[in-house]
Amino acid sequence: MANLQLFQTHRGALLPSANALNEAGGVAYALSPKHLLAQLAATGCLNNTFYAQAQDQLDAVLALAREVDPVFVAKTAVYARRAGHMKDMPALLAATLAMRDVSLLVKVFGRVVDNGKMLRNFVQMLRSGAVGRKSLGTRPKKLVQQWLLEASEAQLLSASVGNTPSLADVVKMVHPKPAEAWRAAWFAWLIDRPYALEALPPVTQAFERFKRDRSLEVPDVPFQMLTALELDAQAWAQIAQRGSWQMVRQNLNTFARHGVFELPGLAKAVAAKLRDPQAVAKARVLPYQLMAAFTATGAEVPHVVKEALQDAMELALANVPVFEGRVVVCPDVSGSMSSPVTGHRGTATTSVRCIDVAALVAAAVLRRNADARVLPFETKVVSLQLNPRDSVMTNAAKLAAVGGGGTSCSAPLALLNKEKAKADLVVLVSDNESWADRARGRGTATMQEWAAFKERNPTARLVCIDIQPYATTQAQERDDVLNIGGFSDEVFKLLAVYAAGGLGADHWVGVIEETSI
Query: Cα separation of 40 and 80, whole Å?
Result: 9
Query: Cα separation of 276 and 298, whole Å?
Result: 22
Say which residue, 440 or 457, is predicted with more confidence: 457
Could you read off the pLDDT of 266-312 as tens digits, one per residue?
999 999 999 999 999 888 887 888 888 888 898 999 999 999 999 99
- Whole-number pLDDT of residue 9: 47
- Whether the Cβ atoms of residue 254 and residue 284 lie closer than 8 Å to each other: no
Quickly state the pLDDT bin for 8 (edges 50, 70, 90): low
Residue 7 predicted with pLDDT over 80: no
Q: What is the average per-residue pLDDT within 400-416? A: 93
Q: What is the DSSP string of 452-463?
A: HHHHH-TT-EEE
Residue 11 predicted with pLDDT over 50: no
- Find residue 377's DSSP bridge partners: 332, 381
Share of the chain above pLDDT 70, in %: 97
The rounded Cα 322 to chain-centroid distance in angstroms is 23
Share of the chain above pLDDT 90, in %: 72
Could you read off the pLDDT of 148-203 as tens digits, one per residue?
999 999 999 999 999 989 999 999 999 999 999 999 999 999 999 999 999 999 99
Nearest to 308 by CA among 371, 367, 261: 261
Q: What is the average per-residue pLDDT within 409-426? A: 97
Residue 506 predicted with pLDDT over 90: no
Q: What is the average per-residue pLDDT within 80-97? A: 94
- Whole-number pLDDT of residue 4: 47
Which sequence spans correspond to the domains of the chain?
A: 20-28+324-513
Q: What is the average per-residue pLDDT within 242-264? A: 94
Q: What is the average per-residue pLDDT within 481-492? A: 89
- Whether the Cβ atoms of residue 459 and residue 427 lie closer than 8 Å to each other: no
CATH topology of domain 20-28+324-513: Rossmann fold (3.40.50)
Quickly state the pLDDT bin for 448 (edges 50, 70, 90): very high
Quickly state the pLDDT bin for 73 (edges 50, 70, 90): very high
Query: Sign of the C-alpha dihedral, residues 58, 59, 61, 66?
Result: positive
Could you read off the pLDDT of 370-402 as tens digits, one per residue?
999 999 999 999 999 999 989 888 999 899 998
Query: Cα separation of 421 and 441, whole Å?
Result: 24
Residue 12 predicted with pLDDT over 70: no
- Find residue 329's DSSP bridge partners: 374, 427
Quickly state the pLDDT bin for 316 (edges 50, 70, 90): confident
Helix 138-150, helix 102-112: angle, nearest 10: 20
Q: Spell out where 334-394 has E strands.
A: 373-374
Residue 10 predicted with pLDDT over 60: no
**Where does residue 255 fall: left (phi above 0), alpha (psi -120 to 50 degrees), or beta otherwise?**
alpha
The rounded Cα 486 to chain-centroid distance in angstroms is 6
Query: Cα separation of 170 and 144, whole Å?
Result: 8
What is the 3 state secondary structure string of 54-119? HHHHHHHHHHHHHHCCHHHHHHHHHHHHHCCCCCHHHHHHHHHHHHHCHHHHHHHHHHHCCCHHHH
Q: What is the average per-residue pLDDT within 125-135? A: 91
Could you read off the pLDDT of 434-443 as tens digits, one per residue?
999 988 778 9
- Whole-number pLDDT of residue 13: 52
Q: What is the average per-residue pLDDT within 350-356? A: 85
Query: Cα separation of 151 and 35, whole Å?
Result: 35
Kindly tell me the burial class for residue 413, based on how many C-beta atoms sit within 10 Å of its own C-beta (0-12, 13-18, 19 or more): buried
Q: How far is CA 94 from CA 71, 76, 128, 150, 471, in A?
A: 11, 10, 14, 20, 21
Q: How far is CA 75 from CA 81, 108, 181, 331, 517, in A?
A: 10, 8, 37, 30, 7
Query: Cα separation of 125 and 105, whole Å?
Result: 14
- Find residue 27's DSSP bridge partners: 21
Quickly state the pLDDT bin for 2 (edges 50, 70, 90): low
Query: Sign of the C-alpha dihedral, residues 40, 44, 47, 51?
Result: negative
Average model confidence (pLDDT) for the chain? Answer: 91
